[in-house]
Amino acid sequence: MPVPAIAPSALAAARQSPHTLLDVRTAGELAIVALPESLHIPLDELEERHPEIPADRPVLVLCHHGVRSLHAAAFLLGLGYEAINIQGGIDALSLRVDPRLPRY
């Protein structure tokens, strides 16, 4: 099943409607840079913690470069969530959208 995705530049528009922003990076990565409104569930905890994610709105999934978020979005799609991968992750956000975000 193909995973829907959006470019980092489209994130601002996507955030104008009800959604959940899910960050699947590690706690160490989150300490470097985080988007304050995100729900943090590391990818390796997603299988057990996915019930914490509201199922009544799209889930925009974020990681560092977009690979872990792709896997997380595919997993969530299989469970019936409307999951969307943010291509390029927070690194692409810092390069293309908001250079104030620290890179690592």
The radius of gyration computed from the CA coordinates of the chain, to the nearest angstrom, equals 12
pLDDT at site 13: 86
pLDDT of 11? 86
Do 59 and 43 contact (CB within 8 A), yes or no? no
Answer yes or no: 32 catalytic.
Answer: no
Selected catalytic residue, list 53, 61, 63, 84: 63
pLDDT at position 12 is 82
Q: What is the pLDDT of residue 16?
A: 85
Residue 92's closest CA among 58, 60, 66, 59? 66
Given this model, what pLDDT does residue 56 score? 96
- For the chain, 104 residues long, the average pLDDT of each consecutive 10-residue run is 92 88 98 94 98 97 98 98 97 95 96
